[in-house]
């Protein structure tokens, strides 16, 4: 008998069914669901069974494998499986380093004839807070060097490089933040750039006033990221398991934070070795606080607080 459409109960998942879905998810996304994740997976996928009025996971697995819908149901399944936890300026030491080390290094290169260009990839961007935090950090760092007072929190330890003033205007620098995720629903949220007011609890008030609009009437309790920030962020769906990633050019920094924990080490190694090919010479990779990659220290020089720098080719 079909499940009632509004029933929120969790459909039981048999061990053999869990293994089938675990293999499917791993093959299509690289995500590895460890033993013990069976109840979590059943809870998240039960909504898809209710949607299709199916009574068991064996039938749903067969449905996913056989439906001719250009992969739409598989994308819905993946959306259910992915975990999307993020916030503005999460793990702030990375943004401090970006503002006080990376941007000044690029500015120094400009003084030697380099391009006025900053390219950053947020490789597991979720609902967009990380990408917009990156843009705000870059804008503030560039403005600070032309004499304007930065609204970023004080440095947590990295001294800001003293540079001759470089002119900054929206058209004088090419700022590009590519933000990607496999989950189409979180990408839609990111592109809307609208968040609950409580999401800004840890953001400095001057930054809120400068880069966010508070909602009124039916938007009460919501904030929107201003267009002067969103214009520099481009969101796109990227499945890291795909043979070709829709990316062009190299990046000064890649943020790939709090995502490695969802992959086994073999998959981590594959993804990271591909990613470093997209770094500019001496470019940076930022990982999450609990993520460490000692087996890649020959390629990536460990700095501190899960920040890495691409070593010179001859090394």
Question: Catalytic residue positions?
Answer: 44, 181
Tell me how far apart the alpha carbons of residues 304 and 307 are, in angstroms, rounded to a whole number: 6
Per the CB < 8 A criterion, the answer to whether 179 and 125 are in contact is yes
Taking residue 309's Cβ as centre, other Cβ atoms within 10 Å add up to 15
Closest alpha carbon to 82 in 313, 314, 258: 258
Tell me how far apart the alpha carbons of residues 315 and 298 are, in angstroms, rounded to a whole number: 8
CA distance to 43, 119, 180, 190, 228, per residue, from 233 (Å): 33, 10, 10, 10, 10
> Can you tell me whether residue 267 is helix, strand or coil?
helix
Per the CB < 8 A criterion, the answer to whether 277 and 309 are in contact is no
Taking residue 270's Cβ as centre, other Cβ atoms within 10 Å add up to 14
């Amino acid at each position: 008998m079909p499940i009632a459409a509004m029933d929120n109960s969790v459909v039981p998942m048999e061990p053999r069914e869990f293994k089938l879905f675990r293999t499917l998810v791993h093959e299509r996304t690289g995500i590895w669901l460890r033993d013990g994740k069976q109840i979590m997976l059943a809870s998240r996928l039960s909504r898809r069974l209710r949607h299709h009025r199916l009574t068991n996971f064996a039938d749903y697995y067969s449905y996913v494998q056989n439906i001719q819908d250009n992969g739409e149901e598989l994308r819905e399944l993946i959306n259910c499986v992915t975990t999307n936890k993020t916030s503005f300026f999460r793990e702030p030491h990375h943004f401090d380093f970006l503002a006080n080390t990376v941007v000044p290094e690029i500015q120094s290169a400009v003084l030697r004839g380099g391009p006025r260009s900053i390219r950053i990839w947020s490789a597991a961007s979720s609902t967009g807070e990380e990408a917009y935090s990156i843009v705000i950090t870059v804008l503030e760092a560039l403005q600070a060097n032309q004499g304007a007072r930065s609204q970023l929190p004080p440095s947590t330890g990295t001294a800001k490089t003293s540079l001759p003033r470089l002119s900054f205007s929206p058209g004088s620098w090419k700022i590009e933040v590519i933000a990607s995720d496999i989950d189409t629903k979180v990408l839609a949220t990111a592109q809307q750039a609208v968040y609950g007011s409580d999401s800004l609890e840890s953001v400095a008030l001057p930054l809120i006033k400068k880069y966010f609009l508070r909602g009124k009437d039916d938007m009460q309790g919501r904030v929107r990221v201003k267009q002067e920030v969103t214009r520099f962020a481009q969101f796109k769906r990227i499945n890291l398991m795909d043979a070709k990633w829709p990316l062009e050019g190299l990046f000064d920094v890649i943020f790939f934070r709090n995502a490695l924990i969802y992959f086994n080490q073999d998959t981590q190694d594959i993804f990271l070795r591909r990613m470093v090919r997209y770094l500019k010479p001496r470019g940076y990779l930022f990982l999450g606080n609990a993520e460490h990659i000692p087996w890649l220290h020959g390629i990536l020089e460990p700095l501190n607080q899960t920040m890495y720098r691409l070593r010179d080719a001859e090394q």
